[in-house]
Structure 1
Amino acid sequence: MDLGLHVIGVVRSPLTDKATAPKFETDNAPPAELLLDPAYATAAKDLAVGQEILLFTWLHLADRDCQAVHPRRDYSRPLTGVFSTRSPDRPNPIGLHQVRISTLAGNVVTVAALEALDGTPIIDIKPLADRGGQG
């Protein structure tokens, strides 16, 4: 079955090590650049500085055979099924990140904080739902 998944860009980040990367953008994650493929320029034309987006990534370094983890790598906590955690280790490692756009420059979108590693493929961007508008 061809699911037609397309990579639309790549994360550029100072984070290079899965073992020491923060688990949430709120855990002192650094700013990161989303380098979008120029072929998707029209799709990104309405993004705006200050906008909150949901960023979907393919966590390509994840352990796809993993079904349970110690939350936040705290081995004093019991193993928990990955569908109840935000661990990147899971059968299909799709990352979901709520981030705010801090700058836009052509096909480069800078977000305020992102826990994804450098080189992480970007698979989609969605605006945060605006209950009163277009969202």
Structure 2
Amino acid sequence: MDTNLVIIGIIHSDITDLATAPKMENEPGAVRARIELDPAYKIGLDAMEIGAQLELFTWLHKGDRTTLKVHPRGDLTQPQRGVFSTRSPSRPNPIGLHRVTLVAIEEPLTLVVEPLEVLDGTPVIDIKTKPKGY
């Protein structure tokens, strides 16, 4: 049984600072981003349509893996909550889930998506699609 996590791509984004990054895709500051996919996964894009809704799974590599409680959205005036009831990148296994729209597919094997709230250089570990208009 293979239990290794595989990085299938890297996100290129204008967001470079964790402290000021938006916490969700529908907050101000989420941007259009590019996902440079490993060419080995090109066949996995078969039948993907522009305008499709995608769910990206990312490895939020700058999250603190020892954190179990956070202030929601980093707001210190709110009481701390367990990380499993938040979208914080700080958690035991920092897997992010992001809902985006596919805007373009460019060569060499790059997906252009929006809106996305993750840092530049964030690894992508999986992509799920929903049909256009879903």
Same fold (TM over 0.5): yes
- Give aligned pairs, total: 131
Richer in strand (by share): 2
Q: Deviations over 1:87-126 (max 9, x none)?
A: 1100000000011001111311011110110000000000
The structure 1 segments of at least 4 consecutive aligned residues displaced by more than 4 Å after TM superposition are none
Q: TM-score, normalised by structure 1?
A: 0.91
Instruction: Give yes or no for contact 2:53–2:131 (8 Å, CA) kept in 1.
Output: no
Please provide the CA RMSD for this pair.
1.7
Kindly indicate whether residue 15 of structure 2 is the aligned counterpart of residue 22 of structure 1: no
Paired position in structure 1 for 2:89: 88
Q: Deviations over 1:5-37 (max 9, x none)?
A: 110000000011100100011112011001101
Kindly indicate whether residue 8 of structure 2 is the aligned counterpart of residue 5 of structure 1: no
Paired position in structure 1 for 2:37: 36
Q: TM-score, normalised by structure 2?
A: 0.92
Once the two structures are aligned, what percentage of the paired residues are identical?
A: 50
Matches within 5 A, 1:102-121: 102-106=103-107, 107-121=109-123
- Please, which runs of 5 or more residues in structure 2 have no aligned partner? none
Question: Which residue identity lines up with residue 92 of structure 2 in the other structure?
Answer: P
Q: Given the superposition, is the C-alpha separation of residues 129 and 5 from structure 1 closer, same or farther in structure 2, using an over 3 Å criterion?
A: farther
